[in-house]
Amino acid sequence: ASQVVAARASAVDGCFTSTVHCGYSYLAYTTKRSIVIVSEYSKTEQLIPFPFGETEVRSIAWNSVTSALSVAFPNSVYHYIPEIISEQETTVRRWQQVKYMRFPDIEIRQLAWLSRLGQLLICGSTIEIWKFPFNLLSGHSLTAKERADLAEEFPELLWKTESTNPVYYCAVSPDSRYFVTAGRCDRLPKLWFTFYEESDDSLDDPANDP
């Protein structure tokens, strides 16, 4: 084994994630000031500085179907999608910010994508599931019109419940049908199941497997 990245990663739980996009493996982790994306060739593909005013990242999560990347801070979530751009006479893949969500009344601790449902699980002082616009999940580069439309479209809150103890840990099953949450001190993992439309054949399409 050999060291492939030098930047010091955050010690916060949930600040490391990996995905496969267009046949290539990527991992992402956070440092004190940025999000680092590394390719399977041990190459730092991209450094994404924290948005202005944000200093404490809480969690990052990749959608395993489309590789949309979501980054949580205490009261906000930012969303990035992979796009092909021209750079120095070649084309490269870069994650571009396309969406921002503000949560002034809750404290966020963890994120996880219910990837096969196109929904994001947000955990902390509450547990919430949000459904996202198609353009954020389509897996293709956006046109100028699509980007403008997406900026105006807000995700839909599908479900929300208060948590007796703040949720510090969460994980989702590969088929997105179940997720588990746990607090820091209660020693009580809770298993949840999700509802989906029975007519949604995408859940059984092998092409959509994470």
Mean pLDDT by 10 residues, the chain (210 residues): 55 79 88 90 86 93 91 95 78 86 94 92 96 64 70 85 90 94 87 70 40
Total Cβ atoms within 10 A of residue 183:
18
What's the pLDDT score for residue 168?
Answer: 92
pTM summary value: 0.83
What's the pLDDT score for residue 22?
Answer: 81
Question: Nearest CA to 170 among 125, 109, 129, 115?
Answer: 109
What's the pLDDT score for residue 209?
Answer: 37
> Running DSSP on this structure, what letter comes out for residue 110?
E
Q: Look up residue 179 and give its two tokens.
A: 């997720």
What's the pLDDT score for residue 5?
Answer: 52
Q: Determine contact, residues 93/106, Cβ cutoff 8 Å.
A: no
